[in-house]
A and B are shown apart, each in its own frame.
Chain A
Amino acid sequence: MSPDMKKGTEDVTKPLLTVDRVACTGHGVCATVLPEHITLDEWGYPILDGPIPESVEARLAVKYCPARALYWQYPSVSA
Protein backbone atom coordinates (compact mmCIF):
# COMPACT_ATOMS: atom_id res chain seq x y z
CA MET A 1 0.00 0.00 0.00
CA SER A 2 1.43 3.36 -1.03
CA PRO A 3 1.67 6.13 1.57
CA ASP A 4 -0.96 8.12 -0.37
CA MET A 5 -3.47 5.30 -0.30
CA LYS A 6 -2.84 4.78 3.37
CA LYS A 7 -3.53 8.45 3.96
CA GLY A 8 -6.74 8.12 1.94
CA THR A 9 -8.01 5.26 4.08
CA GLU A 10 -7.29 7.19 7.24
CA ASP A 11 -9.36 10.16 6.05
CA VAL A 12 -12.55 8.12 6.08
CA THR A 13 -12.31 6.89 9.66
CA LYS A 14 -10.54 9.72 11.47
CA PRO A 15 -12.17 12.95 12.60
CA LEU A 16 -11.47 16.23 10.79
CA LEU A 17 -10.98 19.68 12.25
CA THR A 18 -14.22 21.62 11.85
CA VAL A 19 -15.23 25.24 12.52
CA ASP A 20 -18.52 25.95 14.25
CA ARG A 21 -19.31 29.04 12.17
CA VAL A 22 -21.90 30.34 14.62
CA ALA A 23 -19.51 30.15 17.57
CA CYS A 24 -16.50 31.54 15.63
CA THR A 25 -15.96 35.25 16.34
CA GLY A 26 -12.77 35.65 14.36
CA HIS A 27 -10.10 35.82 17.06
CA GLY A 28 -7.69 34.20 14.59
CA VAL A 29 -5.77 32.11 17.12
CA CYS A 30 -6.19 29.01 14.91
CA ALA A 31 -4.36 30.70 12.04
CA THR A 32 -1.43 31.43 14.37
CA VAL A 33 -1.26 27.88 15.72
CA LEU A 34 -1.84 26.13 12.37
CA PRO A 35 -0.49 28.57 9.74
CA GLU A 36 0.23 25.76 7.25
CA HIS A 37 -3.49 24.87 7.06
CA ILE A 38 -5.45 27.94 8.18
CA THR A 39 -5.38 31.52 6.86
CA LEU A 40 -7.78 34.35 7.65
CA ASP A 41 -10.14 36.06 5.20
CA GLU A 42 -10.31 39.85 4.95
CA TRP A 43 -12.81 39.93 7.83
CA GLY A 44 -10.66 37.76 10.11
CA TYR A 45 -12.50 34.45 9.78
CA PRO A 46 -10.59 31.20 9.18
CA ILE A 47 -10.16 29.62 5.74
CA LEU A 48 -9.22 25.93 5.95
CA ASP A 49 -7.09 24.70 3.04
CA GLY A 50 -8.93 21.35 2.95
CA PRO A 51 -9.66 18.47 5.35
CA ILE A 52 -7.34 18.86 8.35
CA PRO A 53 -6.53 15.57 10.13
CA GLU A 54 -5.47 15.24 13.76
CA SER A 55 -2.00 16.46 14.74
CA VAL A 56 -0.39 17.92 17.86
CA GLU A 57 -0.77 21.46 16.42
CA ALA A 58 -4.39 20.90 15.39
CA ARG A 59 -5.25 19.67 18.87
CA LEU A 60 -3.61 22.83 20.26
CA ALA A 61 -5.73 24.96 17.94
CA VAL A 62 -8.87 23.33 19.33
CA LYS A 63 -7.63 23.84 22.88
CA TYR A 64 -6.69 27.51 22.44
CA CYS A 65 -9.72 28.74 20.46
CA PRO A 66 -11.15 31.48 22.72
CA ALA A 67 -14.65 30.93 21.27
CA ARG A 68 -14.46 27.10 21.56
CA ALA A 69 -15.48 27.07 17.91
CA LEU A 70 -13.10 24.35 16.73
CA TYR A 71 -14.04 20.70 17.15
CA TRP A 72 -13.45 17.24 15.69
CA GLN A 73 -16.08 15.82 13.40
CA TYR A 74 -16.24 12.43 11.75
CA PRO A 75 -16.76 12.81 7.97
CA SER A 76 -19.97 10.72 8.08
CA VAL A 77 -21.77 13.23 10.33
CA SER A 78 -23.76 15.49 8.02
CA ALA A 79 -27.30 16.39 6.94
Chain B
Amino acid sequence: MALSIIEALDTAGLTGRGGSAFPTAVKLAAAQRAGAELIINACDGEIGAAKDSYVLRRYLSHVDHGAQLTQLTRFIPVIYAVHAGTDVEKFLLAQGKKVLPVPDRYVSSEASSLVALQHGRPARPMAKRTRLVEGGRTSDGKKTRPTLVMNAETVLRIAQIEQHGPTWFRSFGTPAEPGPRLITITGAVFSPGVYETQAGPALTDILALAGYVHRSSPALNIGGLGGSFIPMDQVPDLAYSSPSLATAGAAIGPGIINVLAPGSCPVRTIAGMLTWAAGESAGQCGPCMFGVPAVARGFQQLADGTAGPGVLHDLARHISLLPGRGACHFPDGVAAFTASAVNVFSAHLEEHRNGHCTIGQPGAAA
Protein backbone atom coordinates (compact mmCIF):
# COMPACT_ATOMS: atom_id res chain seq x y z
CA MET B 1 0.00 0.00 0.00
CA ALA B 2 1.32 3.39 -0.96
CA LEU B 3 2.07 5.80 1.86
CA SER B 4 0.06 9.02 2.06
CA ILE B 5 2.20 12.12 1.60
CA ILE B 6 1.89 12.90 5.32
CA GLU B 7 3.05 9.37 6.24
CA ALA B 8 5.90 9.58 3.75
CA LEU B 9 7.09 12.95 5.14
CA ASP B 10 6.78 11.66 8.70
CA THR B 11 8.78 8.51 7.90
CA ALA B 12 11.37 10.55 6.03
CA GLY B 13 11.67 12.96 8.97
CA LEU B 14 11.61 16.09 6.81
CA THR B 15 11.83 19.35 8.77
CA GLY B 16 11.43 22.96 7.63
CA ARG B 17 14.50 24.15 5.72
CA GLY B 18 13.85 27.84 6.36
CA GLY B 19 15.50 27.61 9.77
CA SER B 20 12.68 26.48 12.05
CA ALA B 21 13.45 22.75 11.68
CA PHE B 22 9.77 22.08 12.53
CA PRO B 23 8.41 18.67 11.36
CA THR B 24 6.84 19.26 7.93
CA ALA B 25 4.37 16.36 8.31
CA VAL B 26 2.84 17.94 11.44
CA LYS B 27 2.55 21.36 9.83
CA LEU B 28 1.10 20.01 6.58
CA ALA B 29 -1.43 17.78 8.36
CA ALA B 30 -2.72 20.82 10.27
CA ALA B 31 -2.87 22.83 7.03
CA GLN B 32 -4.82 20.08 5.24
CA ARG B 33 -7.33 19.88 8.12
CA ALA B 34 -7.80 23.67 7.94
CA GLY B 35 -8.00 23.79 4.14
CA ALA B 36 -5.10 26.25 4.08
CA GLU B 37 -3.66 27.92 1.00
CA LEU B 38 0.06 27.61 0.26
CA ILE B 39 2.73 30.30 0.10
CA ILE B 40 6.23 29.20 -0.84
CA ASN B 41 8.77 31.43 0.86
CA ALA B 42 11.67 31.99 -1.53
CA CYS B 43 12.80 35.36 -0.16
CA ASP B 44 16.28 34.28 1.04
CA GLY B 45 15.50 36.64 3.91
CA GLU B 46 18.56 35.97 6.07
CA ILE B 47 21.77 37.92 5.41
CA GLY B 48 23.87 36.11 2.80
CA ALA B 49 21.18 33.53 1.93
CA ALA B 50 20.89 32.46 -1.70
CA LYS B 51 19.52 28.91 -1.65
CA ASP B 52 15.83 29.75 -2.20
CA SER B 53 16.41 31.46 -5.55
CA TYR B 54 18.91 28.68 -6.41
CA VAL B 55 16.14 26.10 -5.83
CA LEU B 56 13.60 27.94 -7.99
CA ARG B 57 16.08 28.56 -10.80
CA ARG B 58 17.10 24.92 -11.06
CA TYR B 59 14.16 22.90 -9.77
CA LEU B 60 11.02 24.97 -10.43
CA SER B 61 9.09 22.03 -11.92
CA HIS B 62 9.99 19.86 -8.90
CA VAL B 63 8.89 22.61 -6.50
CA ASP B 64 5.63 22.96 -8.44
CA HIS B 65 5.14 19.21 -8.15
CA GLY B 66 5.91 19.33 -4.41
CA ALA B 67 3.29 22.06 -4.04
CA GLN B 68 0.70 19.85 -5.79
CA LEU B 69 1.58 16.96 -3.47
CA THR B 70 0.55 19.04 -0.44
CA GLN B 71 -3.03 18.91 -1.85
CA LEU B 72 -3.42 22.56 -0.81
CA THR B 73 -3.34 23.90 -4.37
CA ARG B 74 -6.39 22.15 -5.86
CA PHE B 75 -8.49 25.32 -5.82
CA ILE B 76 -5.99 28.11 -5.17
CA PRO B 77 -2.73 28.22 -7.13
CA VAL B 78 0.49 28.17 -5.14
CA ILE B 79 1.93 31.62 -4.41
CA TYR B 80 5.66 32.28 -4.67
CA ALA B 81 6.90 34.95 -2.24
CA VAL B 82 10.09 36.64 -3.48
CA HIS B 83 11.67 40.04 -2.98
CA ALA B 84 10.25 42.65 -5.37
CA GLY B 85 12.42 43.71 -8.27
CA THR B 86 14.79 40.75 -8.13
CA ASP B 87 15.84 38.56 -11.06
CA VAL B 88 14.07 35.57 -9.53
CA GLU B 89 10.82 37.57 -9.50
CA LYS B 90 11.20 38.29 -13.25
CA PHE B 91 12.02 34.62 -13.83
CA LEU B 92 8.87 33.40 -12.03
CA LEU B 93 6.63 35.92 -13.80
CA ALA B 94 8.09 34.80 -17.14
CA GLN B 95 7.18 31.23 -16.18
CA GLY B 96 3.60 32.35 -15.53
CA LYS B 97 3.74 31.82 -11.76
CA LYS B 98 1.65 33.67 -9.20
CA VAL B 99 4.10 35.92 -7.35
CA LEU B 100 3.82 37.81 -4.06
CA PRO B 101 6.36 40.67 -4.35
CA VAL B 102 7.86 41.26 -0.90
CA PRO B 103 9.54 44.52 0.18
CA ASP B 104 13.27 44.22 0.82
CA ARG B 105 13.21 44.40 4.60
CA TYR B 106 14.55 41.81 7.06
CA VAL B 107 11.29 41.05 8.89
CA SER B 108 9.16 41.25 5.71
CA SER B 109 9.91 37.65 4.77
CA GLU B 110 8.88 36.20 8.15
CA ALA B 111 5.98 33.76 7.61
CA SER B 112 3.24 35.89 9.17
CA SER B 113 4.53 39.01 7.35
CA LEU B 114 3.93 37.18 4.07
CA VAL B 115 0.41 36.23 5.18
CA ALA B 116 -0.36 39.86 6.11
CA LEU B 117 1.01 41.04 2.75
CA GLN B 118 -1.06 38.43 0.89
CA HIS B 119 -4.12 39.93 2.62
CA GLY B 120 -3.36 43.43 1.38
CA ARG B 121 -1.65 44.64 4.55
CA PRO B 122 1.93 45.84 5.12
CA ALA B 123 4.45 42.98 5.29
CA ARG B 124 4.85 43.07 9.06
CA PRO B 125 4.84 40.13 11.48
CA MET B 126 1.49 39.28 13.06
CA ALA B 127 0.95 38.47 16.73
CA LYS B 128 0.18 34.74 16.77
CA ARG B 129 -2.89 34.49 18.95
CA THR B 130 -3.86 31.54 16.77
CA ARG B 131 -1.79 29.39 14.43
CA LEU B 132 -1.28 30.78 10.92
CA VAL B 133 -2.46 27.51 9.36
CA GLU B 134 -5.80 27.95 11.10
CA GLY B 135 -6.19 31.61 10.19
CA GLY B 136 -5.14 34.65 12.21
CA ARG B 137 -5.41 38.41 12.37
CA THR B 138 -3.15 41.11 10.96
CA SER B 139 -1.87 43.86 13.24
CA ASP B 140 -4.83 46.08 12.30
CA GLY B 141 -7.34 43.32 13.00
CA LYS B 142 -8.10 41.95 9.52
CA LYS B 143 -8.86 38.23 9.56
CA THR B 144 -6.50 36.10 7.47
CA ARG B 145 -7.39 32.86 5.69
CA PRO B 146 -5.73 29.65 6.87
CA THR B 147 -2.29 29.73 5.23
CA LEU B 148 0.69 27.42 5.18
CA VAL B 149 4.05 29.07 4.54
CA MET B 150 6.83 26.70 3.52
CA ASN B 151 10.41 27.35 2.50
CA ALA B 152 11.22 26.65 -1.17
CA GLU B 153 13.79 23.97 -0.32
CA THR B 154 11.28 22.20 1.94
CA VAL B 155 8.82 21.93 -0.96
CA LEU B 156 11.58 20.61 -3.24
CA ARG B 157 12.32 17.90 -0.64
CA ILE B 158 8.62 16.91 -0.55
CA ALA B 159 8.75 16.19 -4.29
CA GLN B 160 12.00 14.22 -3.90
CA ILE B 161 10.59 12.13 -1.04
CA GLU B 162 7.56 11.24 -3.15
CA GLN B 163 9.78 10.35 -6.11
CA HIS B 164 12.60 8.45 -4.38
CA GLY B 165 11.01 7.41 -1.07
CA PRO B 166 11.74 8.03 2.63
CA THR B 167 14.53 5.41 2.70
CA TRP B 168 16.45 7.25 -0.01
CA PHE B 169 15.92 10.51 1.92
CA ARG B 170 17.22 8.96 5.14
CA SER B 171 20.35 7.71 3.37
CA PHE B 172 21.56 11.33 3.74
CA GLY B 173 22.27 13.16 6.97
CA THR B 174 22.02 11.79 10.50
CA PRO B 175 19.08 9.90 12.08
CA ALA B 176 18.14 13.09 13.96
CA GLU B 177 18.65 15.41 10.95
CA PRO B 178 17.99 13.28 7.89
CA GLY B 179 18.01 14.20 4.24
CA PRO B 180 20.00 16.21 1.76
CA ARG B 181 20.15 19.92 2.52
CA LEU B 182 21.44 23.05 0.86
CA ILE B 183 23.90 25.49 2.36
CA THR B 184 24.99 28.95 1.24
CA ILE B 185 28.67 29.67 1.89
CA THR B 186 29.82 33.27 1.54
CA GLY B 187 32.65 35.55 2.63
CA ALA B 188 36.36 34.76 2.51
CA VAL B 189 36.15 31.57 0.46
CA PHE B 190 37.44 30.77 -3.02
CA SER B 191 34.01 29.88 -4.51
CA PRO B 192 31.10 31.42 -2.63
CA GLY B 193 27.79 29.84 -3.54
CA VAL B 194 25.06 27.33 -2.79
CA TYR B 195 26.11 23.71 -2.15
CA GLU B 196 24.22 20.45 -1.77
CA THR B 197 25.24 18.77 1.48
CA GLN B 198 23.80 17.00 4.55
CA ALA B 199 24.06 17.00 8.33
CA GLY B 200 26.98 15.05 9.77
CA PRO B 201 30.23 15.85 7.91
CA ALA B 202 33.10 17.66 9.59
CA LEU B 203 32.61 21.43 9.48
CA THR B 204 36.00 21.76 7.74
CA ASP B 205 34.68 19.49 4.93
CA ILE B 206 31.66 21.77 4.57
CA LEU B 207 33.96 24.81 4.24
CA ALA B 208 36.10 22.89 1.75
CA LEU B 209 33.05 22.72 -0.59
CA ALA B 210 33.56 26.42 -1.19
CA GLY B 211 37.34 26.14 -1.25
CA TYR B 212 38.10 27.74 2.09
CA VAL B 213 41.83 28.46 2.17
CA HIS B 214 42.20 31.65 4.21
CA ARG B 215 43.52 30.07 7.39
CA SER B 216 43.82 33.46 9.02
CA SER B 217 40.09 34.19 9.15
CA PRO B 218 39.18 34.95 12.78
CA ALA B 219 35.76 33.29 12.85
CA LEU B 220 32.74 32.28 10.87
CA ASN B 221 29.16 33.47 11.23
CA ILE B 222 26.64 30.67 10.93
CA GLY B 223 22.95 31.54 10.46
CA GLY B 224 23.31 35.25 9.63
CA LEU B 225 21.74 37.87 11.91
CA GLY B 226 19.65 35.15 13.57
CA GLY B 227 22.75 33.00 14.13
CA SER B 228 26.07 33.14 15.97
CA PHE B 229 29.85 33.07 15.65
CA ILE B 230 32.37 30.23 15.86
CA PRO B 231 36.08 31.08 16.31
CA MET B 232 38.07 29.50 13.47
CA ASP B 233 40.29 27.53 15.89
CA GLN B 234 37.19 25.65 17.15
CA VAL B 235 36.04 24.69 13.64
CA PRO B 236 38.20 21.51 13.30
CA ASP B 237 36.52 20.04 16.41
CA LEU B 238 32.98 20.44 15.07
CA ALA B 239 30.63 18.55 12.78
CA TYR B 240 27.89 20.14 10.70
CA SER B 241 25.07 18.83 12.90
CA SER B 242 22.90 20.52 15.54
CA PRO B 243 24.24 18.51 18.54
CA SER B 244 27.87 19.27 17.60
CA LEU B 245 27.26 22.92 16.67
CA ALA B 246 25.30 23.38 19.91
CA THR B 247 28.54 22.79 21.86
CA ALA B 248 29.78 26.02 20.25
CA GLY B 249 26.45 27.79 20.80
CA ALA B 250 25.51 27.48 17.11
CA ALA B 251 22.86 25.73 15.02
CA ILE B 252 22.31 24.72 11.38
CA GLY B 253 19.39 27.20 11.16
CA PRO B 254 18.62 28.35 7.62
CA GLY B 255 21.93 26.95 6.27
CA ILE B 256 24.23 29.95 5.85
CA ILE B 257 27.93 30.23 6.63
CA ASN B 258 29.82 33.49 6.22
CA VAL B 259 33.59 33.20 6.65
CA LEU B 260 34.73 36.53 8.11
CA ALA B 261 37.44 38.22 6.09
CA PRO B 262 40.97 37.99 7.55
CA GLY B 263 42.35 41.54 7.70
CA SER B 264 38.95 43.12 8.45
CA CYS B 265 38.04 43.93 12.02
CA PRO B 266 35.14 41.60 12.98
CA VAL B 267 34.01 43.95 15.74
CA ARG B 268 33.51 46.78 13.25
CA THR B 269 31.76 44.43 10.82
CA ILE B 270 29.38 43.27 13.56
CA ALA B 271 28.75 46.82 14.75
CA GLY B 272 27.76 47.67 11.17
CA MET B 273 25.41 44.69 10.97
CA LEU B 274 23.74 45.62 14.27
CA THR B 275 23.32 49.27 13.26
CA TRP B 276 21.65 48.02 10.09
CA ALA B 277 19.48 45.62 12.16
CA ALA B 278 18.30 48.50 14.36
CA GLY B 279 16.66 50.03 11.30
CA GLU B 280 15.05 46.74 10.25
CA SER B 281 12.61 46.37 13.17
CA ALA B 282 9.02 46.70 11.96
CA GLY B 283 8.53 49.07 14.90
CA GLN B 284 5.45 47.25 16.13
CA CYS B 285 6.60 45.68 19.39
CA GLY B 286 8.07 47.96 22.08
CA PRO B 287 10.87 45.68 23.31
CA CYS B 288 12.14 45.30 19.70
CA MET B 289 11.56 48.95 18.70
CA PHE B 290 13.64 50.21 21.66
CA GLY B 291 15.73 47.15 22.56
CA VAL B 292 17.38 46.39 19.22
CA PRO B 293 18.64 49.99 18.74
CA ALA B 294 19.86 49.97 22.37
CA VAL B 295 21.84 46.78 21.75
CA ALA B 296 23.26 48.19 18.50
CA ARG B 297 24.26 51.43 20.23
CA GLY B 298 25.99 49.59 23.06
CA PHE B 299 27.98 47.40 20.70
CA GLN B 300 28.90 50.40 18.53
CA GLN B 301 30.30 52.17 21.61
CA LEU B 302 32.39 49.09 22.41
CA ALA B 303 33.65 49.02 18.82
CA ASP B 304 34.45 52.75 18.86
CA GLY B 305 36.30 52.48 22.17
CA THR B 306 33.99 55.18 23.57
CA ALA B 307 32.19 52.82 25.96
CA GLY B 308 31.91 53.95 29.56
CA PRO B 309 32.43 51.53 32.46
CA GLY B 310 28.75 50.45 32.58
CA VAL B 311 28.28 49.68 28.89
CA LEU B 312 28.97 45.93 29.01
CA HIS B 313 26.53 45.60 31.90
CA ASP B 314 23.86 47.64 30.09
CA LEU B 315 24.43 45.64 26.91
CA ALA B 316 23.92 42.36 28.77
CA ARG B 317 20.70 43.71 30.29
CA HIS B 318 19.38 44.92 26.93
CA ILE B 319 20.21 41.55 25.37
CA SER B 320 18.24 39.82 28.13
CA LEU B 321 15.21 42.06 27.46
CA LEU B 322 14.78 40.86 23.85
CA PRO B 323 14.04 37.10 23.73
CA GLY B 324 10.39 36.03 23.58
CA ARG B 325 9.14 39.61 23.60
CA GLY B 326 8.23 40.25 19.97
CA ALA B 327 5.56 39.06 17.54
CA CYS B 328 8.37 37.39 15.56
CA HIS B 329 11.79 36.05 16.55
CA PHE B 330 13.82 38.94 15.12
CA PRO B 331 14.66 40.32 18.61
CA ASP B 332 15.50 36.79 19.82
CA GLY B 333 17.91 36.40 16.90
CA VAL B 334 19.59 39.77 17.46
CA ALA B 335 20.01 38.97 21.17
CA ALA B 336 21.70 35.61 20.51
CA PHE B 337 23.83 37.09 17.69
CA THR B 338 25.10 39.92 19.91
CA ALA B 339 25.69 37.69 22.94
CA SER B 340 27.73 35.35 20.73
CA ALA B 341 29.73 38.26 19.29
CA VAL B 342 30.55 39.64 22.76
CA ASN B 343 31.59 36.17 23.90
CA VAL B 344 33.67 35.13 20.87
CA PHE B 345 35.39 38.51 20.38
CA SER B 346 35.83 39.46 24.05
CA ALA B 347 39.62 39.73 23.75
CA HIS B 348 39.37 41.92 20.67
CA LEU B 349 36.65 44.06 22.26
CA GLU B 350 39.11 44.62 25.11
CA GLU B 351 41.63 45.99 22.58
CA HIS B 352 38.97 48.37 21.26
CA ARG B 353 38.24 49.46 24.81
CA ASN B 354 41.90 50.35 25.17
CA GLY B 355 41.71 52.33 21.95
CA HIS B 356 43.77 50.22 19.56
CA CYS B 357 42.59 47.70 17.00
CA THR B 358 45.26 45.46 15.49
CA ILE B 359 43.13 43.99 12.70
CA GLY B 360 43.26 46.10 9.56
CA GLN B 361 40.52 48.27 8.21
CA PRO B 362 36.79 48.27 8.89
CA GLY B 363 35.12 45.36 7.08
CA ALA B 364 32.03 45.77 4.92
CA ALA B 365 28.90 44.28 6.48
CA ALA B 366 28.28 40.77 5.08
Contact = CB atoms under 8 A, between A and B. Distances in A.
B103 interface: no
A22 B130 contact: no
For the residues of B in contact with A, the DSSP-based class is loop
Contacts of A78: 128, 131
Given A21-B327, A79-B22, A43 B287 contact: yes
Contacts of B127: 20-23
Residue with the highest number of chain A CB atoms closer than 10 Å, among B20, B126, B127, B288: B127
Contacts of B284: 21-22
Residue with the highest number of chain A CB atoms closer than 10 Å, among B20, B27, B321: B321
A79 B131 contact: yes
B287 A21 contact: yes
B290 interface: yes
B129 interface: yes
B69 interface: no
A77 B131 CA distance: 7
B356 interface: no
A62 B130 CA distance: 17
A71 B131 CA distance: 15
A45 to B, nearest CB: 4
A24 B129 CA distance: 13
A63 B20 CA distance: 34
B286 A79 contact: no
B32 to A, nearest CB: 15
Contacts of A23: 127
Instruction: Say which size band chain B's interface belongs to.
Output: 20 to 34
A43 B291 CA distance: 9
B285 interface: yes
Contacts of A44: 286
B285 A22 contact: yes
Contacts of B130: 77
A72 to B, nearest CB: 10
A20 B131 CA distance: 14
B165 interface: no
A77 to B, nearest CB: 6
A60 interface: no
B325 interface: yes
B326 interface: yes
B290 A43 contact: yes
A27 B337 CA distance: 30
A41 B22 contact: no
A51 to B, nearest CB: 12
Contact of A43 (B22, B131, B139, B286): B286
Given A47-B321, A79-B22, A79-B27, A25 B129 contact: no
Interface of A: 18-26, 41-45, 47, 71, 73, 77-79
The 9 A-B pairs at the shortest CB distance, nearest first, are namely: A21-B285, A45-B286, A43-B290, A20-B127, A22-B127, A22-B284, A22-B139, A22-B327, A21-B327
Given A21-B326, A79-B22, 20 more contacts: A19-B325, A21-B127, A21-B284, A21-B286, A21-B287, A21-B288, A24-B286, A41-B291, A41-B321, A43-B287, A44-B286, A45-B286, A45-B287, A45-B290, A47-B325, A71-B129, A73-B129, A77-B131, A79-B20, A79-B131
